[in-house]
Structure 1
Amino acid sequence: MTDIPDVPIRSTAYLEPATHGFSRRHLGAMALASVAGAWLSSAPARAQPASGDTQIIDFEWIDPSRNRKVPARLYWPTAATRKGPVPLIVFSHGLGGSRKGYSYLGEGWAARGTASLHIQHVGSDQTLWQGNPILLLDRLDGAADEHEAIERTRDVSFGLDRLLDRESPFHAAIDRKRIVAAGHSYGANTTLILTGAQVIRDGKPIGYRDPRFTASIVISAPPFYGETDLAAVLASVDVPTLHVTTTEDTIRIPGRFSPVQDRIDVFNAVPTARKALVVFQGGSHSVFTDRSLKNGGPLNPLVKRATAEVGLAFLDLVHRSDPAPLEAWNATWKPILAAAPVPFQMPARQADRRRRA
């Protein structure tokens, strides 16, 4: 493939408010969702400053089937950090975020050889905080309605389509056996839908699963509001899933409140045994965003670094059947953990296949 030029790094920071989950009507619109099937040409990719370990490329994509912009930022490991086909994590931001957020994850993962594509959802992105403050509640309701919940999943799948397209310079370098969905808050709900969450409408299951995702990283997942049976909603989530939260991960925004227990309930409702839970001792819901030390004090950078590292350790367990990195992570970060992830067994046939790969 054609390599992307190396350029110096530019640090990014973005303040993202807390978010909330879906109502019953949010997931109901899955019945209206259709697969985004059109490929498109877009404005040229823009290379952003990068470090010696990471290249940052911005895309200004448009999905013509929906007439919807899909901005994205790719954190790509440089040649020095790539070892064979490159694993890919596709990340979905929380309510009011952007592709520039969660830069510590993109940079941290790419520096260790794993690419990260951060999708921006134009119907629920940073523009929510602009305009007349009196109308903020209306904008929040619109951003969390059933239409936008589905459009977010289509944004992610479309972005993955674009990166894997034969016209893409990254096409040949990405390891299709190691493509992972990830997200924070509203983005965690998006991730769960992409990996099997669904509802029953008129006796029929409705979902928007993308089978290309082999695992998921779910950070601060809200409940699916209005759904009385969380276990039924998540019954088909069967990919290995890492759940990350804190003991103070409470969501408070106008019209929405979600206690920490909701994060644990989502974890418990996922039926597969191939799941792991991280609970940090302290740190608010937005500690996982790019907020400064004012959000969590000295704990803030520790939680960020530990979150980036545990994602890769978890994927070593899933894709290489190697529990050692996760066990080492537990030992390193024990002082700030309220609950540590427990390594699980991969199915023997799948584990053998992963080791050979």
Structure 2
Amino acid sequence: MRPAEAASEDVRIADLDWVDARRDRRVPARLYWPSPGSPAAPVPLIVFPHGLGHSRTGYSYLGRHWAANGTASLHVQHVGSDGSVWAGNPFEILDRVNVAADEREAIARAADVSFALDRILDKDSFFAAFIDRTRIVSAGHSYGATTILIVGGARVVRNGRTLDRSDSRFKAGIVISAPPFYGERDLPAVLASVTMPTFHVTATEDVIALPGRRSPVQDRLDVYAAIGTTRKALAVFEGGSHSIFTDRSLTGGARLNPQVKRATADGALTFLDLAFRGDPSPLAEWSETWRPILAVTPTAYAATEPSQPPSRRYRSRS
């Protein structure tokens, strides 16, 4: 482990350079940690795989915000579908995208996520003792959203064999701009086994336009509908774009962009209050606060008895 930078007095960042020897595959990661020292109590952990063509340094606004609010965030880099996709001969980009989006890489990404969780929870990891294993969450944007749905239980059948990379250690999921499972005609069959609570986030102009692949906003809604549990919620921002959820600062407009980022980061935490504490109030307050930029406002599912102490109350934007 080596420090990458000090984000603020409340957040520390460390880069972790792991290798999965069994697969001979590098798994770099960046950890956003809630405090400079040891927390007074175990903290939740969000494991975040990036979208196609990004890296562990991306989506920093999420890692910083979550850590500043007491939730550790581990951003995993996938060497087969990271920034290397955009490097090299521009006439070969389509070929590189096809390789990166191949189902073998999709399965490898899910294995990366589980491996990274293994390492951060290993008995030799400094952080393991300070992570609450009952509140481990997967979160991802775009291809990263597909990745967390796979570890959350999504299944596809190939040649009579079910491809299953589910990891039961993940207790909830934050699904941002989920693409379709390209080539799968029966989406409910693929996603019926995803039963962890999920918070789905998209925008009315959230269109995926990659070489050889185009996906309209309706695909995000179809993924939400196909999830095999009623323990889910959907937020749709008015306007925006697919890349508004990345670190890009202008996409979607100079005014809307930072609003969507802040709302997404805090909306995830308010949903986890519902999932882990049975408290719908923070999500309801969040919905009211951000109603001016929401086309679809999330509705809390019926909560069970809380399993955690009362949560922090949502702090509305100033």
Secondary structure in 2 matching 1:218: strand
Distance, in Å, in 2 between the alignment partners of 1:346 and 1:324 is 11
Q: CA deviation at 1:293?
A: 2.0
- Which of 168, 171, 174 aligns to 1:217? It is 174
- Which of 176, 184, 202 aligns to 2:141? It is 184
Kindly provide the amino acid, as one letter, of the partner of residue 193 in structure 2: S
Kindly provide the amino acid, as one letter, of the partner of residue 169 in structure 1: F
Distance, in Å, in 1 between the alignment partners of 2:57 and 2:161 is 38
Map of 1:303 onto structure 2: 260
The one of the two structures with greater contact order (alpha-carbon pairs below 8 A, sep at least 6) is 1
Map of 2:164 onto structure 1: 207
Map of 1:286 onto structure 2: 243
Contact 2:17 2:28 in 1 (8 A): yes
Kindly provide the amino acid, as one letter, of the partner of residue 264 in structure 1: L
Matched, 1:238 2:195: yes
Map of 1:89 onto structure 2: 46
Map of 2:282 onto structure 1: 325
Q: CA deviation at 1:271?
A: 2.1
CA deviations 1:54-102 (Å, max 9, x no partner) are 0000011111111111110000001689552110000010000000100
CA deviations 1:96-136 (Å, max 9, x no partner) are 00001000000000000000000000000011111110111
Secondary structure in 1 matching 2:74: strand
Map of 2:105 onto structure 1: 148
Kindly provide the amino acid, as one letter, of the partner of residue 57 in structure 2: K
Distance, in Å, in 2 between the alignment partners of 1:264 and 1:129 is 29
Map of 2:65 onto structure 1: 108
Kindly provide the amino acid, as one letter, of the partner of residue 291 in structure 1: R
Map of 1:312 onto structure 2: 269
Distance, in Å, in 2 between the alignment partners of 1:344 and 1:124 is 35
Contact 1:218 1:244 in 2 (8 A): yes
> Which one is further off, 192-201 or 310-319?
192-201
Secondary structure in 2 matching 1:124: coil
Q: CA deviation at 1:254?
A: 1.3
Distance, in Å, in 2 between the alignment partners of 1:129 and 1:321 is 43
Q: CA deviation at 1:52?
A: 1.1
Kindly provide the amino acid, as one letter, of the partner of residue 313 in structure 1: T
Distance, in Å, in 2 between the alignment partners of 1:278 and 1:341 is 5
Distance, in Å, in 1 between the alignment partners of 2:4 and 2:184 is 43
Secondary structure in 1 matching 2:222: helix
Matched, 1:267 2:224: yes
Secondary structure in 1 matching 2:163: strand
Change (3 A) 1:83 1:265: farther
CA deviations 1:31-61 (Å, max 9, x no partner) are xxxxxxxxxxxxx433422201100000111
TM-score, normalised on structure 2? Answer: 0.94
Secondary structure in 2 matching 1:71: strand
Q: Which sections of structure 1, spanning at least 5 residues, go unmatched?
A: 1-43
Q: How many residues align?
A: 311
Map of 1:132 onto structure 2: 89
CA deviations 1:202-226 (Å, max 9, x no partner) are 5553311000000000000000011
Contact 1:53 1:81 in 2 (8 A): no
Matched, 1:70 2:31: no
Q: Which sections of structure 2, spanning at least 5 residues, go unmatched?
A: 312-318
Secondary structure in 2 matching 1:49: strand
Matched, 1:159 2:116: yes
Q: CA deviation at 1:294?
A: 4.5
Kindly provide the amino acid, as one letter, of the partner of residue 119 in structure 2: R
Contact 2:245 2:260 in 1 (8 A): yes
Secondary structure in 2 matching 1:50: strand
TM-score, normalised on structure 1? Answer: 0.84
Kindly provide the amino acid, as one letter, of the partner of residue 75 in structure 1: Y
